Amino acid sequence: MNYFLTEEQQMIRDLARQIAEEKVVPQRAELDEKEEFPWEVMKTLAQSDMFGIFIPEEFGGLGMGSFELCLAVEELSRACLGVSTSYAANALGTYPILLFGTEEQKERFLPDIAAGRRLVAFALTEANAGSDAAGVQTTAVKDGDHYVLNGTKQWITNGGEAEIYTVIAITDRTRGARGASAFIVEKGAPGFSFGKKEKKMGIRASVTRELIFEDCRIPKENMLGREGMGFIVAMKTLDQSRVGVGAQGVGVAQGALDEAVKFARQRVQFGKPIISFQAVQHMLADMATQVEAARALVYAVARYVDSGAKEITKASAMAKVFATDMAMKVTTDAVQVMGGSGYMREYPVEKMMRDAKILQIYEGTNQIQRNVIGQALVREAARKA
């Protein structure tokens, strides 16, 4: 397929692919096995300007958008979803600053982020606030020129490794959803510490930790947007980043498909390579078709997001839900095509299958995505009526 990429877009895709093949593939099994954060890969990505893709040129970035970011995410995901999660979570944490930061905040943080000198994380989820984001219990109380944060964030990707955190906390419990605000918290802030590192089923190269705030004082200049805008910051951020999760789905599925095809050509049963059997061909054909359909949707939505459209929630939810359900199916089928070999850690597809599962869960479960799409349909119908 030809998606008519510009020369610059091809450049991003090619370089991301080169990094994936040369720096990620050789060590992905080890990173998974040892549950090790891929610092070396992050350094390579930084040196290659990959962290600056979606950051404006005035702040040291390349001034491109979601689509270009998706191209890079897709290529990294093809090699290792753990690595691409660490990379994409950085973008997720950066969007609040990009979308709602003041000039001063942008100048303070974006150049370091664009250069990959400092890693970012986004902190919304808590023990009682997952799909129900309104359940956030972490509080931020104003005290003179500071806010004082208390509470615990859970399952924060890049937690402990990142140096910059965008955190959603309640500033006024009486106002419900309008009582939350967003803050930038830097590693090393007094009263800010990290909890245990989670042991996960997949994406084990990525790090997931608790963030613990105990009377954590941060200057009031670190608030993003105005007081009470916390959930808007969070929702707009997720609207931007969701299509990236779709790109992760396309990438990991493509990676699994590639492995399955390669294996099916080599594996001989009944005196023939198994790829010559129609039963196998049909499975591969369905996998390839699904990957391509998801890619077309993800690319279209990413371009739509970059067009500056206001209402992107439904489209980005569609891209996420379709591409990630597809990824789960295709990676599972890749294991099936490869049979016993596919199930063994000797080959990468069992890892891809384990990794893919998270895509249906994080950044809003696929059930929540369907709610979002459904509600949008209801609203649109009501508007027409």
Partner 1 sequence: MKIIVCIKQVPDTAEVRINPETNTLVRDGVPSIINPYDLHALEAGLRLKEQVGGTVTALTMGPPQAEEALREAISMGADDAVLLTDRAFAGADTLATAYALSRAARKVGFDLILCGKQAIDGDTAQVGPEMAELLGIPHIAYVKGLVGFSVEGVRVQRLMEDGYDIVESPLPVLLTVVKELNEPRLPSLKGKMRARKAEIRRLTREDIGAEEERVGLKGSPTQVRRIFAPETRKERKMLTGTAEEQVTRLVEELKSLKCI
Partner 2 sequence: MRIVVDPEKCTGCEACLSSCPYDAIVMKGDKAFINEYCQFCRACLEVCPEGAIKEREEEAPVGGPGGFRGVWVFAEQRGGRVADVAFELLGAGRRLADARGVELSAVLFGGGSEEARRLIHWGADRVYHAESPVFEHFNDEPYVALLERLVSEYRPEIVLAGATPMGRSFFPRVAARLGTGLTADCTSLEIDPDTGNLLQIRPAFGGNIMATILCPRHRPQMATVRPRVMKKGVPDEEREGEVIEVKADGITSRTSVIETIKEVSEARVNLQEADVIVAGGRGLGGPEGFRMLEELAKVLGGAVGASRAAVDEGWMPYSHQVGQTGQTVCPRLYIACGISGAVQHLVGMQSSDIIVAINKNPEAPIFDVANYGIVGDVHEVVPALIKRIKEVKGI
Who's near 292: CB < 8 A, 6+ residues apart? 1
Hey, CA dihedral for 161, 204, 328, 154, is it positive or negative? negative
Could you say which of partner 2, partner 1, none residue 30 binds, taking C-beta under 5 to 8 angstroms by partner kind? partner 2
Q: Residues 328-357 vs partner 2: string with x where CB under 8 A?
A: -----------------xx-----------
Smallest separation, CB 383 to partner 2 (Å): 55
Residue ranges in contact with partner 1 by CB under 8 A = 7-8, 11-12, 15, 18-19, 22-23, 44, 47-50, 52-53, 62
Residues 6+ apart with CB under 8 A from 108: none
Q: 8 vs 33, which CB is nearer to partner 2?
A: 33
User: Among residues 11, 14, 21, 26, which is the contact residue for partner 2, using CB under 8 A?
Assistant: 26
Name the residue among 74, 80, 112, 77 with its Cα closest to residue 93. 112
CB of 346 vs partner 1, minimal distance in Å: 23
Question: CA 157, CA 154: separation in Å to the nearest integer?
Answer: 9
Nearest Cα neighbor of 45 from 106, 94, 114 is: 114
Number of chain residues interacting with partner 2 (CB under 8 A):
9
> By C-alpha distance, which of 352, 368, 373, 121 is closest to 249?
352
Tokens coding 302: 């990413």
Whose tokens are 């709602």? That residue is 100
Which C-beta is closer to partner 2: that of 29 or that of 232?
29
29 binds, among partner 1, partner 2, none (CB under 5 to 8 A by kind): partner 2
For residue 194 the two structure tokens come to 């990290």
Among 5, 25, 129, 361, indicate the residue that binds partner 2 (CB under 8 A). Answer: 25
328: tokens are 């789960």
Minimum Å distance from CB 182 to partner 2? 42
117 binds partner 2 (CB under 8 A): no
CB of 62 to partner 1, least distance (A): 6
Site string for partner 2, 235-274 (x = CB under 8 A): -------------------------------x--------
| SS3 (DSSP) at 140 | strand
Instruction: Give the residue numbers marked as catalytic.
Output: 363
> Could you give the CA distance from residue 307 to residue 288 in angstroms, rounded to a whole number?
28
Give me the residues that bind partner 2 (CB under 8 A), please.
25-27, 29-30, 33, 266, 345-346
